[in-house]
Amino acid sequence: MRNRSIFRKSVTIGLSIAAMTAGSAAMAAQNKGTVSVLNWWTSGSEAKSMNVLQQMLANEGYKMVNDAVSGGGGSNARTVLKSRIQSNNLPGAAQIKGPEIQQWCTTGLTMNIDKVAKSQHWSKILPGPVAKGMQCDGHYVAVPFNLHRINWLWINKSVLKKAGAKMPTDWDSLVAALEKLKKAGITPIAGGGDTWQVATEFDAIAIATGGADFYRKAFVDLDPDALSSDTMAKVFKRLRTIEQYEDPNGQGLSWNHDTGLVVQGKAGMQIMGDWAKGEITNDNATPGKQIACMAFPGEHSGFVYNTDSFEMFKSAHSDKSAQYAFARTALSPKFQRKFNMAKGSIPVREGVSLKGFDACAKQSKKDFTAAEKNNALVPSFSQDMAENGAVKGAIFDVIAKFYNNKNMSPEDAAKEMASQAKQAKMMSQT
């Protein structure tokens, strides 16, 4: 009996030690490090997308603090970033993209992530323009998450049919469809809620009206002749036409609210990047089925792209190991599939299967590949991909002024855009 008692005690002690050891291992796995991530993804589909990353990092034992800031198309998040720098509370990663990535490098606050880039062969798995945009002086400081197409037109098929309108194939047939929707008592286009949404519409109109070469000269090179040209005046004129088919009481409404109007059949169309797909799916509709997708129609084709990316910072409040894990996980095939299916974008990493992605995503990938081959791939000015914040702000101001002032002519708007862009560029270089 005594031997049995000793045996039982030994087993109990052994199990206790095993449990403590397992518990310690679990705790260690759960406390590998923390990374704070500043971003502006707050809509339903965007938050869902970030949850994917948060969970994948948690599975590896890292904690991701999701510091999401709503409003302003990212401007509010940028303000928060600047205030956190002043209070010595830098995030481990912040949502930054386009030329702004290189601007932040001059502060000396960014973190080199070449270690991760080399281990995953970023130079081979990323499109050339994207890989270049993630670097400063040849070193990686940012990680891309996706590829978005900006120049999409979303159409509720049943609403269009109900109004007796046909699917547009060019500018004239688009206007004809909008007119029929209006006569049927349906808001033709959901949009115009704030300046960045109007600029996104302008983005789509510009590539369709002038083509990739014109777009590049105007918004990447800031060529004054292109900015003040008859073609640019035509873009403004078409924006005015679009405005006439939008809800005059739509000021202040969010882009995802507008997407909801299209899905619910309260509006016929929306001009918006393919992040709208995430909201379409959230509303139990399928992009490419109930809601048609097409490149915004005009005389020219092209692909206006946006890459959501996160720049890494030297942060006392984030662990370097967790920051590396953040960057590594973001470009893992598993995350690229899960995240982009939720976000509405397509994987930025080459070679990721699109099985299970919707028809619009597959069309986007096909068009991206063709545009890259035909030099019709351009970075979006409205989504911070083409110019610095000062220049973009100047262009936005002119677009907003024109949109809100019915007495301003398209020709005057084009001339003012050239003037303001030139001045903003000079000021940013001093």
Decide if pLDDT at 28 tops 80: no
- 65-82 per-position pLDDT tens digit: 999 998 767 889 999 999
Pick from 17-26, 110-119, 359-368, 377-386: least confident = 17-26
Decide if pLDDT at 25 tops 60: no
Q: Which two tokens stand for residue 107?
A: 């502060």
- Residue extents of the structural domains in the chain: 1-29, 31-148+307-364, 150-305+373-429
Span 31-148+307-364 CATH architecture: 3-Layer(aba) Sandwich (3.40)
C-alpha separations of 17 from 5, 12, 23, 25 in Å? 18, 9, 10, 12
pLDDT of residue 124: 96
pTM of the model: 0.86
Q: Is 143 exposed, middle or buried (0-12, 13-18, 19+ CB in 10 A)?
A: buried
Phi-psi map region of 236: left, alpha, beta (phi>0 left; psi -120 to 50 alpha): alpha
Q: Estimate to the nearest angstrom the gap between the alpha carbon of 108 and the chain centroid.
A: 26
Give dist(CA 392, CA 134) in Å, integer: 20
- 146-186 per-position pLDDT tens digit: 999 999 999 999 999 999 999 999 999 999 999 999 999 99
Decide if pLDDT at 287 tops 70: yes
Q: Which two tokens stand for residue 379?
A: 């970075």
- 222-249 per-position pLDDT tens digit: 999 999 999 999 999 999 999 999 999 8
pLDDT of residue 44: 84
C-alpha separations of 239 from 100, 258, 303, 413 in Å? 27, 18, 19, 11
CATH topology identical between 31-148+307-364 and 150-305+373-429: yes
CATH class of 150-305+373-429: alpha beta
Strand partners, 136: 139
Give the residue, 143 or 252, on which the prediction is more confident: 143
Decide if pLDDT at 2 tops 50: no
